[in-house]
Structure 1
Amino acid sequence: MTDADVLLAGVAAAARPVGLADVPELMSRVDCKYLVTGTTMARLAGELGDRFSVLRIGGRRQFRYTSTYFDTPDLLTFRQHRQGRRRRFKLRTRTYLDGGGRWLELKLSGARGSTDKHRIPYDGVPAHILTQEARDFVHNTLVGELRLTPPAGLGPVLSTDYRRVTLIDRAGAARLTCDTGLLCHDGHRRVPARRDLVLLESKSADGRALVDRVLRGMGVRPVSVSKYCIGMAAMRELPGSNRWRPVVRRYLEPQGEISCLSQVA
């Protein structure tokens, strides 16, 4: 079995580095996601050759992230995502563990499958807390962008940890994030991802980036996957979560589920 994390480290080491200032921000974009084996990732890297650079910050090319997702007690945002609601959102804090600080991010579902991301700095605030400033930001953004009334009772329900390599298309405003080592946890249970798989996310203005064309040529098709939704589907018995079961069975390790309470005991 190929260890995808080790393979990605090799891909990153071989690519020409680029600094954060030269990475397109793409706050409004189309995301295409793919779940591939380490073997397929190695082939993709070969196909892309020197047309992609790798993000390097402070000497690092592979970075650790942790995200905490917020939802209502009845999981409104999960249900809206499951139902494919045209106007929906996702709220999280994202912490860049290797020196990038913490942000509060509000992702909005836009027209024609696009994603609009809004964020504010969140350094110095615990990742699982929503301050009054944060609530005002969520309120103003949802009302102004989607004409949605923010739901009451938003609180932390799931966290995800993973490692990421970011590849930058040198010919245009597009990038490819490559995630390995995913771990979903909620304070009671922990579910890791398989070590031989990479979750790719192609981010571009129109969803037709070079990497999307190359992957299609390799016979790789996009998958509907959300770290938040598959994590919730894996750890809770939730109505309507069957749409993510094929990805959960392929990507996550149910036999690796651990009760945090039993660990403490």
Structure 2
Amino acid sequence: MKQQIAQIVNNLDPISLNEMDGVSLMKRTDTKFIIHQQQLIEVLKTITNQYKVLEINKNRLLTYSSLYFDTENKKFYHDHHNGKVNRTKVRMRKYMESNSCFLEIKQKDGKGKTTKSRIQIKDFETELSQNLVEFINSKTSEKFNLKPSIWNKFDRITLVNKHAMERLTIDLNLEFNMETSSKSYKNLAIIEVKQQRFDRTSPVVKSLKKIGINPYSMSKYCIGMTNIYPELKYNRFKRKIIKINKITA
């Protein structure tokens, strides 16, 4: 499947990081879909003329590595689990092909809007430096005592709509680990459509709809946490975990 996906993606027109600046969408609506990688192949075949693909150093399947932070009592995880509409995630993310690393803060409001703030750093820091603590405090208007909570890694394809203010990410080969615990989802594809507001006329949304795939809210962070920390309460995510396991079986 990986070879088939790569073959389709390699036939798309490329777009560079600099060219993507116009569709950075730091304030946006994110809409997720989860499918088996075999279904992804069929979807990609139907939208090849509508999108360009991000290419960095001749690579189109890009590797991302992330380190998430949370409080001692896992506040960010529990806020999501308990349905709090105003939520925060803090992570460091390294874009392996460009060898660039950022501390990123994602904040979701009660209207479904996501705001992302970030600052470039040299590399992963398992202990937050003072300037990063101050950056987090300034963006969240709160003071947290944050520690590393989970690592994750995945391969990503980023597509940019040729005709609309839209881009989408496709995450494959998702892995989580922390100390001696690990979990991977090899057959899963997570599609995330990023728009100023959700538009059902999007080529990829229409293609997914045709095969019966509707938007499905899920958090990679929360799913990973339930696997790495089995003692965490996860009632709210139980149905999502069952669905993901069924897709990847």
TM-score when scaled to structure 2?
A: 0.91
Deviation at 1:250, TM superposition (A): 4.2
- Does the 8 Å contact 1:184/1:191 carry over to 2? yes
For 2:7, the equivalent position in structure 1 comes to 10
Distance 1:229 1:88 in 2: 12
Match of 1:132 in 2: 130
Distance in 2 (CA, whole Å) between partners of 1:52 and 1:80 is 35
Q: AA paired with 1:213? A: K
User: 1:199 and 1:73 mapped to 2: Cα distance?
Assistant: 29
Identify the match of residue 215 of structure 2 among 195, 215, 222. 222
How far does the alpha carbon of each residue in 1:75-105 deviate from its partner, in whole angstroms, 9 at most, with x for none?
0000101112122200000001112410000
**Count of residue pairs brought into register by the alignment:** 242
- Assess, with a 3 A threshold, how the Cα gap between structure 1 residues 127 and 50 changes in structure 2: closer, same or farther: farther
**Corresponding residue for 2:227?**
234
Question: Residues 200, 27 of structure 1: CA spacing in aligned structure 2 closer, same or farther, 3 A cutoff?
Answer: same
- Match of residue 146 from structure 2: 154
Q: Which runs of 4+ in 1 moved over 6 A?
A: none
Is this contact kept in 1: 2:92–2:124, CA < 8 A? no
1:199 counterpart residue number: 190
CA distance in 1, matches of 2:107, 2:189: 25
Query: C-alpha distance in 1, partners of 2:130/2:17?
Result: 30
In the other structure, the counterpart of 1:248 is: 241
Please report how far the alpha carbon of residue 42 of structure 1 lies from its aligned counterpart in structure 2 after TM superposition: 1.5
* Structure 2 letter corresponding to 1:67: S
Cα deviation, 1:97-137, whole Å, max 9, x if unaligned, reads 112410000000124211100000011x4342311010000
1:134 counterpart letter in structure 2:
L
Indicate whether 1:142 and 2:140 are aligned: yes
CA contact (8 A) 1:8 1:165 kept: no
**What secondary structure, in the 3-state scheme, does the structure 1 residue paired with 2:214 have?**
coil
User: The residue matched to 1:182 in structure 2 has which SS?
Assistant: strand
Q: Deviations over 1:203-245 (max 9, x none)?
A: 1110216122332233101222111100011122345412222
Q: Indicate the RMSD between aligned Cα atoms, in angstroms.
A: 1.7
After the TM superposition, which of the residue ranges 59-68 and 78-87 deviates more from structure 2?
A: 78-87
Matched letter for residue 80 of structure 2: H
What are the superposed Cα offsets for residues 151-207 of structure 1, whole Å, 9 maximum, x if unpaired? Answer: 2x21001010110111111111111111111110011201011x2221111111102
Cα drift, residue 20 of structure 1: 1.2
Could you tell me the TM-score, scaled by structure 1's length?
0.86
Higher helix share: 1
CA distance, structure 2, for counterparts of residue 28 and residue 7 of structure 1: 33
| Deviations 1:33-63 (CA, angstroms, capped at 9, x unpaired) | 1111122212211221311111111111111
Contact 1:95/1:101 (CA < 8 Å) preserved in 2? yes
Distance in 1 between residues matched to 2:162 and 2:237, nearest whole Å: 34
